[in-house]
Amino acid sequence: MQKLTRIITLSVALLMISGCSYFGVYKRDLPQGNLVTEAMVEQLQPGMSRQQVVNLMGSPLLEAPFDSSEWDYVYRLDKAYAGVEQRRITLTFQGNRLAAVDRHGNFSRDISLPDDQGVGPSVEGISDVQEDPIDNVTPDRPGE
């Protein structure tokens, strides 16, 4: 009887310990920085103005504080269960014109991020909310 009690106690203890590692921790993809795609980089041409580059690529993530002739666009995707993917573009300007484009990272395949699955549990039922009443206010006009 005492042997059976030990076996049952040991079995229950092992089941309880193994249950702690049964469920994994929830992870999600974590994108950071400027999304940089191959199509965007292919559109960069030497001689483009800084404003044309900003219109195409967006504002740079990093700009050298003492020398504004280099802009860096960095994109890092920490995939939940598949490692880290990082891309970096360094743009060099001479005056106001693009002079060189340096690529770092794998641009051969585009990064696809899953669409958001809604707005989240804290604001469920948001579609039932009426329009903002401030948007429907018309300004007072003199003489009306």
Q: Which has the higher per-residue pLDDT, 36 or 116? A: 36
If you average pLDDT over every residue of the chain, what do you get? 77
> Which whole number is the average pLDDT over 4-14?
88
Confirm whether 40 is domain-assigned.
Answer: yes
Residue 6 in domain: no
Q: Which domain holds residue 79?
A: 28-109
In a domain, 127, yes or no: no
Rounded to whole angstroms, the Cα distance separating 33 from 87 reads 10
In three-state form (DSSP H/G/I as H, E/B as E, the rest C), the secondary structure along the chain is: CHHHHHHHHHHHHHHHHHHHCCCCCCCCCEEEECCCCHHHHHCCCCCCEHHHHHHHHCCCCEECCCCCCEEEEEEEEEECCCEEEEEEEEEEEECCEEEEEEEEECCCCCCCCCCCCCCCHHHCCHHHCCCCHHHHCCCCCCCC
For the stretch 20-72, pLDDT in tens is 665 667 778 888 888 888 888 899 999 999 999 999 999 888 777 877 889 99
Asked if residue 115 is part of any domain, the answer here is no
* The pair of three-digit structure tokens given for residue 73, joined into one six-digit string: 């666009």
Tokens read off for 53 = 């580059």
Does 4 map to a domain?
no
d(CA 40, CA 107): 11
Residue 136 lies in a domain: no
Residue 140 lies in a domain: no
pLDDT range class, residue 121, cuts 50, 70, 90? very low
Residue 43: per-residue pLDDT: 92
Q: How far is CA 32 from the centre of its chain?
A: 4
CATH number of the domain where residue 51 is located: 3.30.1450
Asked if the structure places residue 63 within a domain, the reply is: yes
pTM, full prediction: 0.59
Asked if 77 contacts 84 with a C-beta cutoff of 8 angstroms, the reply is yes
> Considering its fold, how many domains does the chain have in total?
1
